Amino acid sequence: MKILKETENKITEMLAEMTVEEKIGQMQQVSLESFRPEVFERFRKLGGGSFLHVLSDEADKIRAEAAETRMKIPPIFGIDAIHGHSLLNGAVIFPSQLAVACSWNPELIKEMGKVTAREVNADGLDWVFSPVLCIGRDTRWGRVDETFGEDSYLVGELGAAIVEGYEEDGLVAACVKHYLGYGEATGGRDSYDTEASMRKIREVFLPPFKRAVEAGASTVMTAYGSISGTPLTVHRKLLREVLKEELGFEGFVVTDWYNVGSLRTKQMAVESYGDGVRLAIEAGNDMSMNSFQFYDSAIRQVKEGKIPMEYIDDAVRRILRVKFALGLFDENKKRLPRSVIGSAEHIAVNHKLTRESLVLLENNGILPLKETPKKIAVIGPNADNIRAQYGDWTFFSHPNASPEDCKPKSDYYTILRGIKTVFADSEVVYAKGCNIMGETEKSMLTEAEALAESADIVIAVIGDCLAQNGEGKDRANLELSGAQNELMRRLKKTGKPVITVLVNGKPLCIGEAAKNSDAVIEMFNGGDLGGLCAAELIAGRFNPSGKLPISFPRASAQIPCYYNQYNGWHGGKYMDVAEGSLYDFGYGLSFTNYEYSDITLSSDTARSGDMLTVSVDVTNTGDMDGYETVQMYYNDRFSSVLTPTRQLCGFRKVFIRAGETVRVELPLAVDAFSLVNIDEKTVLEAGIFDIMVGGHLGALKTAELSVV
């Protein structure tokens, strides 16, 4: 978002003219589903600052009504366009954030942002509540599917890319959320307290937000929970001091759903709604999502002199700034034709990204299939289940979903349809096999087993379902649920090759299922084209390149098992579970092999402010062209406070032809090695740093850098 002097002057004039009611009206977001119809109507007449979850023609009507109000300030329409404009039936549905993070491809993720922005804009809306910049380190949490994974650096890079995609063409504003620490609430329980020192906040939670603000994010959403007992809604230090002053964020802050009211009803942090409203404004929230007490209470308290007008003016200035930047005041605001929604061009971006989002976790050589099987048995509870494949935040769960929304309007592919399409010459048979939740009748298992017996090859599709992911749907047990392991054992027993596709919202403990498979493909929530791309991968129509943005546990109680932990004294392993995660962060197989050699640094010594280049030769030693994600980590050998033994600090995805060697260069800012010391100061400590480069954590080449 660009700040223009003329706009600022114009806003100053408007503020001088606006009544208190009109100003607070700008600070109120009105949501379709939680405001009583008469209250919703009231804000339509009044010209509420923002409306949420309204779609298409309804937005046009509300906009026209706002044009009739005294100040004629257009509302800003927000929407949870979480993976594509996914609450609208017919829009392109991309894989979930966690799934696309597997691509490690910021350029493509930026394209996803652009496509989403175009579809949202064409639908008459202005503001996407995306991306999620929470860190997915406690995978019990129900919203891990919405994250870009477990690593702050990767989350920051991919987050910045999608923010640029959303905002670059001036079509919509992004909203980075949930500020902050929401992903690591105690016990992985949604919206509980997150115990975190300022050191952890600055090293783990804050960096992605900093990166996104630098990338131009126009708005930020506060989290539901609390940090060390202070609700984020009233966290003046983190909102006003850190976000607005220190990071220089000039857009506006919106609360999450009913955050202001929940200070009184859930968190018991205030005795009255009025106190909650006052504290939330003082802390730095500029717009209240829902909390219908907000509007009247804020007006009253401003008139009584309890809330200083300077806070109100600052909040309204920020909101108007974003509205101006989006061109909402222009009568000829750029709106794309509705025909762009679900267009072939958009589907093509989805296709490319979905291919790159699949991760090959296991392959005993069966993939790619060497010949077309005569008969394929597609088996499993997620084989023909588009709801599970989409995951959270689609039109299925829009508050106004109609019965016809139970059928997607887009050309979507479950795995069953994908296999039937790609293997058009094979006979394809299907059985659900078992349920993911609740009991499974024996007959389902035996039917599946018999079908498997009759086929040449089995595609098993297992994972989790929507009821196991999302807000308030945290899991204490991450084993495959229902009879899925039993199904996998029976499939293995048939002696037929089993290729397993995982359709799930988060890493599950799939050790046993993997042992019962000849190959395993992780899709997570693959969107419209997940099933097609999985089938194409199996057929070898492209070379898989996805890498995990998150570690897989062997057992539920091993969580958290993220890769960049500090050293302990005793090796950190449990006596009853094998050491380390089942699949590491950064891991993923390909149909070819890559060898790394000759790692060099542009200088062996460096100091604060220096930029270095790390170079390495990467050779594709197999016989298939492919994309390889070159990952760079560092280790601060000795530091005054503990630091991770390996921390990602750069990556690049490169295309390498079979047999070719490519010299890959990665830029490295030495200040990235800074740590937050015991005095909470961010400092670069002198010493030796190991710079490690490779295709996954298990095989890194090291060079030594001396920081002076």
Q: How far is the CB of 27 from ligand BGC (least distance, A)?
A: 17
Q: Determine the residue with CB nearest ligand BGC.
A: 129
193 counts as binding ligand BGC under rule CB under 6 A = no
Q: How far is the CB of 83 from ligand BGC (least distance, A)?
A: 13
Q: How far is the CB of 193 from ligand BGC (least distance, A)?
A: 16
Nearer to ligand BGC, 96 or 301 (CB): 96
Q: Please provide the DSSP assignment of 306-319 as one string.
A: SS-HHHHHHHHHHH
Q: How far is the CB of 270 from ligand BGC (least distance, A)?
A: 21
Q: How far is the CB of 262 from ligand BGC (least distance, A)?
A: 11
Question: Is 405 among the residues known to form the active site?
Answer: no
Which among 580, 634, 639, 643 has a CA at the least distance from the CA of 612? 634
Residue 139 CA, distance from chain mean position: 13
Q: CA distances (Å), 219 to each of 18, 102, 213, 251, 493, in order?
A: 23, 26, 9, 5, 54
Say how far apart CA 15 and CA 324 lie, in whole Å: 14
Q: How far is the CB of 208 from ligand BGC (least distance, A)?
A: 15
Nearer to ligand BGC, 185 or 519 (CB): 185
The b-or-e profile of 671-698 (16+ CB within 10 A means b, else e) is bebbbbeeeeeeebbeeebbbbbbbbbe
Nearer to ligand BGC, 330 or 471 (CB): 471
Q: Under rule CB under 6 A, which residues in 115-174 are in contact with ligand BGC?
A: 129
For residue 17, which phi and psi values (nearest 5 degrees)?
-95, -25
Which among 466, 632, 126, 572 has a CA at the least distance from the CA of 330? 126
Q: How far is the CB of 428 from ligand BGC (least distance, A)?
A: 38
Nearer to ligand BGC, 104 or 166 (CB): 166
How many chain residues bind ligand BGC (CB under 6 A)?
6
177 counts as binding ligand BGC under rule CB under 6 A = yes
* Cβ atoms of 201 and 184 closer than 8 Å: no
Residue 437 CA, distance from chain mean position: 25
Please identify which of the residues 123, 138, 256, 392 carries the catalytic annotation. 256
**Cis amide leading into 601 (omega within 30):** no
Considering only residues 167, 256, 392, 405, which one is a binding residue for ligand BGC as defined by CB under 6 A?
A: 256
What sign does the CA torsion over 279, 284, 289, 295 have?
A: positive
Nearer to ligand BGC, 176 or 455 (CB): 176
* Cβ atoms of 241 and 284 closer than 8 Å: no
Q: How far is the CB of 80 from ligand BGC (least distance, A)?
A: 5
Binding-residue pattern over the window 654 to 683 for ligand BGC, x denoting contact by CB under 6 A = ------------------------------
278 counts as binding ligand BGC under rule CB under 6 A = no
CB hemisphere CA count around 388 (13 angstroms): 24
Q: How far is the CB of 256 from ligand BGC (least distance, A)?
A: 5
Partner residues linked to 177 by β-bridges = 132
Nearer to ligand BGC, 88 or 514 (CB): 88
Helix (H, G, I), strand (E, B) or coil at 520: strand
Nearer to ligand BGC, 8 or 471 (CB): 471
Which among 467, 440, 426, 456 has a CA at the least distance from the CA of 380? 440
Say how far apart CA 242 and CA 283 lie, in whole Å: 11
The helix (H) or strand (E) run that includes residue 355 is: helix 344-357
Q: Under rule CB under 6 A, which residues in 19-48 are in contact with ligand BGC?
A: none
Q: How far is the CB of 79 from ligand BGC (least distance, A)?
A: 9
Considering only residues 245, 271, 411, 471, which one is a binding residue for ligand BGC as defined by CB under 6 A?
A: 471
Nearer to ligand BGC, 290 or 363 (CB): 290
Which among 74, 198, 136 has a CA at the least distance from the CA of 505? 136
Residue 197 structure tokens: 């020192």
Q: Under rule CB under 6 A, which residues in 75-94 are in contact with ligand BGC?
A: 80
Considering only residues 214, 257, 343, 690, which one is a binding residue for ligand BGC as defined by CB under 6 A?
A: 257
Nearer to ligand BGC, 40 or 542 (CB): 40
Q: Under rule CB under 6 A, which residues in 490-529 are in contact with ligand BGC?
A: none
For residue 143, which phi and psi values (nearest 5 degrees)?
-110, 20
Say how far apart CA 366 and CA 461 lie, in whole Å: 17
Binding-residue pattern over the window 555 to 594 for ligand BGC, x denoting contact by CB under 6 A = ----------------------------------------
Nearer to ligand BGC, 53 or 490 (CB): 53
Binding-residue pattern over the window 199 to 228 for ligand BGC, x denoting contact by CB under 6 A = ------------------------------
- Helix ranges restricted to H, 168-284: 198-200, 206-214, 236, 259-265, 273-283
Residues of the shown chain interacting with ligand BGC in the complex, contacts defined by CB under 6 A: 80, 129, 177, 256-257, 471
Which residues are tagged catalytic?
256
